[in-house]
A and B are shown apart, each in its own frame.
Chain A
Amino acid sequence: MRNKKQDLIDQKLQGLNDDGIDRRGFLKCMAWAGTGLVWTMSGGIPMSRVFAKGHDQMAAKAGDFAFVQISDSHIGFNKPANPDVTATLQTAINRINAMSHPPDFIIHTGDLSQLSKPSEFDTLDQALKGASAKQIYFVPGEHDMLSDNGEQYLQRYGKGTKGTGWSSFDHKGVHFVGLVNVANLKAGGMGSLGNEQLEWLEDDLKGRSASTPIVLYAHIPLWTIYPDWGWGTDDSEQALSYVKRFGSVTVLNGHIHQIMQKIEGKVSFHTAMSTAFPQPAPGTAPSAGPLKVPADQLQRVLGITDVNYLVNGRSLAVVDSPLADSKSSASWKGGHGNVNSLFG
């Protein structure tokens, strides 16, 4: 099975290499390994890394660290395909706590709640208290700003942030920037960052060494996936122009409740699964509403994203893990879809 996957990846990589895009010094290697697609940045040489079960035993060098991205918990949602989103969030937290390389922190990329209700935020807080990683960074999703222009979200999760909740921090040599693209949305448009935030971002990145690995995270994808469903950010080009000079940029988003990946120049884009419910692939349904899947399949389409920073080569490896262990052929089907959605 692995050979078949590897063949497909090699084939797709070949396709990538033929498209004429300069790929020096950025994500080059991908290996599909059971539960995750592994990206490893190298100095221009394709390099395979098999994670699978073994990835927990990765040799740790001083400065290496891991963090976890979770997204779209939608606490308060109670309809098909998931009447108990608190339970699946709990399963996600249990998975995080069971990692043999504990994450230094967690990033939640928004849609904490379904309706911005205080009781929903309370339930989320209660669940997250059980996470082994105590430091959690948040950006809001549109569901977290449904009333009061996000005042309550900001009070609870936006301490020390600017504007509608954007902020940046450094961790072991990597610069992280959390952006908000769900506030003040305009009729007919997609996600929006706005001028004030863009100016702040430009200023925030100014003066940083080009060799500093950058991680941008935001709720709605910062690349255009499917405009008809609003799956993109109108002014993301502007934001991305500020990170062009950096050697390694990783963009982590949520919102679309499925894994999508793209590499453009030195920037790798990645969207995470939801912990609550899946959404259809772009254009495969009348709307982006929740995708109803059989109960026994649900935990295969929900999950967490584990990001490992390797100080050697300044690489970030992104591994998606579904909540349910995927031992059957179903996981391969999922993998096939992911690889295709990445390069297809």
Chain B
Amino acid sequence: MTKKHIWVAGMAAPVVIAMLLLFAGAARVTADDQPSKTNAEVKIDNFVFGPQTLTVQVGATVTWTNKDDIPHTTVSTDGAFKSKVMDTDEKFSYTFTKAGTYSYFCSVHPKMTGEIVVK
């Protein structure tokens, strides 16, 4: 049993990786056509939200990660979400349950702005 189990896992891993790679590639190239259903990421780097506009499907969870040496926040301009302060490498996640365009900014450095489009 143990041997078979390992064999199955061994076969499955490359397939899973291949699927992940395909999925990642698709998400990058055609983000607007096939918005991510569940997970998407925004990286904060050099005082910039990247990507500045991100399109996801209803139900998707977006995770922001601060890659700067300086703390940042993610605050939606209409009050839908507001992160705590994120120090270096800290994250904030929010699940979008309603379609719409969500503008947000860093309340510490308000020149930093971004947008999540939920379809």
| A residues apposed to B, CB below 8 Å | 79-80, 114-116, 142-143, 146-147, 185-190, 227-230, 286-290
Instruction: Compute how far the CA of A190 lies from the CA of B111 in the bound complex, rounded to whole angstroms.
Output: 7
Chain B residues with CB under 8 Å of A229's CB are 47, 111
| B residues apposed to A, CB below 8 Å | 46-48, 68-71, 73, 77, 84-85, 87-88, 103-105, 107-111, 113
Per DSSP, chain B at the interface is: loop
B111 near A115 with CB under 8 A, answer no
> Measured between C-beta atoms, what is the minimum distance from B89 to chain A in Å?
11
B110 near A115 with CB under 8 A, answer no
Instruction: Compute how far the CA of A132 lies from the CA of B27 in the bound complex, rounded to whole angstroms.
Output: 61
Per DSSP, chain A at the interface is: loop
Instruction: Compute how far the CA of A288 lies from the CA of B87 in the bound complex, rounded to whole angstroms.
Output: 16
> Measured between C-beta atoms, what is the minimum distance from A299 to chain B in Å?
20
Chain A residues with CB under 8 Å of B46's CB are 286-287, 289
Chain A residues with CB under 8 Å of B88's CB are 79
Number of A-B contacts (CB under 8 A): 56
> Measured between C-beta atoms, what is the minimum distance from B58 to chain A in Å?
24
Chain A residues with CB under 8 Å of B69's CB are 79-80, 289-290
Instruction: Compute how far the CA of A148 lies from the CA of B71 in the bound complex, rounded to whole angstroms.
Output: 15
Chain B residues with CB under 8 Å of A190's CB are 110-111
Given contacts A186-B110, A187-B103, A187-B110, contact A114 B71 (CB under 8 A): yes
Instruction: Compute how far the CA of A190 lies from the CA of B105 in the bound complex, rounded to whole angstroms.
Output: 12
B85 near A289 with CB under 8 A, answer no
Instruction: Compute how far the CA of A188 lies from the CA of B108 in the bound complex, rounded to whole angstroms.
Output: 11
Q: Which residue among B87, B88, B111 has the maximum number of chain A CB atoms within 10 Å of its CB?
A: B111
Looking across the interface, which residue of chain A has its beta carbon closest to that of B70?
A289
B71 near A188 with CB under 8 A, answer no
A143 near B108 with CB under 8 A, answer yes
Of A79, A228, A290, the contact of B111 (CB 8 Å cutoff): A228
Chain B residues with CB under 8 Å of A185's CB are 107-108, 110
A187 near B105 with CB under 8 A, answer yes
Instruction: Compute how far the CA of A115 lies from the CA of B70 in the bound complex, rounded to whole angstroms.
Output: 9
B85 near A116 with CB under 8 A, answer yes
Given contacts A287-B68, A289-B68, A290-B69, contact A115 B85 (CB under 8 A): yes
A146 near B71 with CB under 8 A, answer yes
B113 near A187 with CB under 8 A, answer yes
Looking across the interface, which residue of chain B has its beta carbon closest to that of A146?
B85
Looking across the interface, which residue of chain A has its beta carbon closest to that of B88?
A79
